[in-house]
Amino acid sequence: MTAILITGAAGFLGQHLAQHFADKAERLVLSDIKPLPEEPAGAERVQADLGDKQAVLEMAREVDAILHFGGLPVEYPFEEILHANLRGSYHVFEAARASGARVIFASSNHAIGYYERSQRLDVADPPMPDGFYGLSKAYVELLARTYWMKHGVESASLRIGSALPEPRDARNLSTWFALPDMMAMIEACLAAQPLGCRLLWGASANSRGWWGRDDRDGLDLPPFDDAERFAAALEAKVTDDPVNERYQGGSFASDGYDRAEPAPPPPLRR
């Protein structure tokens, strides 16, 4: 690995990425709109707004890979999502096209959050976003496909479930993405020759997982962890919100929900 740019480097996952790749990259560029915490020795620090196209083009100059974890990390009004997540991601892919970099994009399970928990998905099933945040993630997955087909920009979109040191509740028994597993998946995407354009489930090998087939064929991945070892302590940690408990997106799906009756379950593509 040579030159890596991490967007969103001040966030929880961004900080973990910075520490992980500090001794793996010959050059490490860390960017966020917020002031960055203390960065690893030798890393370059750039405080920039992803909505500023020239700033993004400049900080991505002569990098080989962009770990795009920047943008708003939860639900916000549409105009704010539009600026940070949609326009900002467009600038990231323009920068990748200019520099010849590949992009590893932090997508989200909220791109498919309105599937019911009884449904087991693969990546052929269409997006079903549970809000503007999830909608932005689905948009960037398609943006990645467009830049691959039109410009040959390689990318992997990781539909991250719950990337945490340990699962915290019953839902996480299905969605947990152990941090070492996340790092291993990113490393495999950086090493793949070629990478192409992939859509991957960002989850560990959870026995109660909702997500199946994806585009990982040919990636050098180690055996992944399983949240089941936490089940005895967590399986009773559920909410009293039936909308939350019905849908894979959990609280994102119930936020602002005002239907009188649930919509029929969306069909799966089989």
Instruction: From residue 61, give the alpha-carbon distance in Å to each of 29, 49, 115, 247.
Output: 10, 16, 39, 41
Q: Kindly name the residue from 76, 133, 139, 247 that is annotated as catalytic.
A: 133
Tokens of residue 129, six digits: 């976003």
In sequence order, what are the residues at sequence separation of 6 or more whose Cβ sits closer than 8 angstroms to the Cβ of residue 223?
Answer: 205
Peptide bond into 194 cis (omega under 30): yes
Q: What is the CA radius of gyration of the chain?
A: 18
Q: Is 133 a catalytic residue?
A: yes
Q: State the distance between the two ends of the chain, measured CA to CA, in whole angstroms.
A: 38
Nearest to 200 by CA among 266, 162, 249, 156: 156
Query: Residue ranges of the alpha helices (H) in the chain?
Result: 12-21, 53-59, 78-81, 88-99, 132-151, 172-175, 179-191, 231-234, 242-246, 251-254
Number of other residues whose CB lies within 10 A of the CB of residue 237? 13
Question: How many distinct helices (H) and strands (E) make up the chain?
Answer: 10, 9
φ/ψ (deg, to 5) at 116 = -80, 155
Task: List the catalytic residues.
Answer: 133
